[in-house]
Amino acid sequence: MRLVLALSVVIAVASACDLPRSGARSDSPSVAAAVQKPRGPFMPNGDVDGSGGRAASDMLDQMRYAPNSIRNVRPGQSIVLTVKNSGSIVHNVVAPELGVPRAVRVDGGKTGSLTFTAPATPGRYLWWCNEPGHAEAGMIGEFVVTS
């Protein structure tokens, strides 16, 4: 009896969570973007100083951005990130929390650039590749905002 009650509670909670989430997704893109996170591990492989407003990173077919940590960014600062796709498959960058809600695609051998606007709140913000399986394999970068 106890187990049955516990299961009923779990099912009720799961259903309650599903409804508002799907509603937010279709009605309010900004809410959906705020809760969007990469589905993989962040694995640091090198730093780049972003305090001058520019940074560069390579996109690799090994599912990495290198380097993948942009540091010393000031709150509200804008940073132009140049991404060179050194691989042969398509990669991209998406960063909902940094004002880049839609993926910026870069074909193999090409170079792209995008402008991030640092949030006003110091912290660590992630950007990633949303090609299927890439972020899951670790194609994730961070943007560290310090006051």
| Binding positions for Cu ion, rule: CB under 5 A | 91, 129, 131, 134, 139
Q: How far is the CB of 55 from Cu ion (least distance, A)?
A: 18
Q: In the sheet where 47-49 sits, what is the strand order?
A: 47-49, 69-73, 140-145, 123-128, 91-95, 100-106
Question: Closer CB to Cu ion, residue 58 or residue 145?
Answer: 58
Residue nearest to Cu ion (CB): 129
Question: Closer CB to Cu ion, residue 65 or residue 145?
Answer: 65
Question: Closer CB to Cu ion, residue 81 or residue 129?
Answer: 129
Q: How far is the CB of 4 from Cu ion (least distance, A)?
A: 46
C-alpha to C-alpha distance for 65 and 91, rounded to whole angstroms: 10
82-112 core/surface letters (b: 16 or more CB in 10 A; e: else): ebbbebeebbbbbbbbbebeebbbbeeeeeb
Q: How far is the CB of 123 from Cu ion (least distance, A)?
A: 24
